[in-house]
Amino acid sequence: MADLGSSTLRSSIAGAVAFELPPLPYGIDALVPVLSAETLAIHHGKHHARYVETLNRLLAERNEAVSTLESVIRAAHASGTQGLFNNAAQAWNHGFFWESMTPAPAQPGNGLTTAIKASFGGLEALGTRFVAEGTGHFASGWVWLVARGNRLEVISTHDAGCPVLDDGVTPLLCCDVWEHAYYIDYRQDRAQWLTLWWTKLANWSFAEKQYDAALGRGEPWQYPAPSPVPVK
């Protein structure tokens, strides 16, 4: 058995397991006109699916039994196993990204609104900050609204960078700024993609649950647990 340098990859699950591509929480055309069905089908069914497929192949090659994707991400990063980290983190990031969008957005609730005002001065200012961070991020990556306790921050991560690595951070929302996330619909206009995403798709109900988790009221979102691979 290959040693990835961390006991956190070991688990009580006996035998091989595989992570699955989680279904979208809405229909393939539910985010039109901001996000086309074509983009969503390719992004979810091709890009995200390939990360999951490669992740499972790499784990199978190592004969590792794992309990959570979060533990895989941390252990792979700690051991410098870059290929495994990239695919595990990208699988996680995409799963969180789907949850960060909704076809029926609503305004943040009172608790999160108070935190937004305290950290940014208001929702409009936060939106401006979020779009600027994502637009200004060079090359591929992600832009996040995160909580450190009751304080909120906007950050970006590069390539497969993932907030799972920071124990002090709870992500609330994220938007994908890799070109495949928006190029079919917006070509090179990342700013327009981010602006429309923020105003039309951001899932504040999901962000509220994540903020509650940051304050110790519930558990944060986790990637779906792996399933045992049937013995052939």
In this structure, the dihedral spanned by the alpha carbons of residues 26, 129, 151 and 109, taken in order and rounded to 10 degrees, is -40
State the Cα–Cα distance between residues 34 and 36, nearest whole angstrom. Answer: 7
> C-alpha distances in angstroms, 105 versus 109, 165, 198, 204?
12, 29, 10, 7
Is the model's pLDDT at 4 over the cut of 90? no
47 labelled binding-site residue:
no
Domains annotated on the chain, with CATH: 8-24+35-102 (1.10.287.990), 110-214 (3.55.40.20)
Neighbours of 132 (CB within 10 A): 14
Is 212 annotated in a binding site? The answer is no
As given in the structure block, the two tokens for residue 107 are: 């305004």
Give the global pTM: 0.93
Residue 166 has pLDDT above 80, yes or no: yes
Q: Is 43 annotated to bind ligand? A: yes
**136 confidence band (pLDDT: 50, 70, 90):** very high
Q: Is 143 left (phi over 0), alpha (psi -120 to 50) or beta?
A: beta
Residue-wise pLDDT for 88-106, tens only, equals: 999 999 999 999 999 999 9
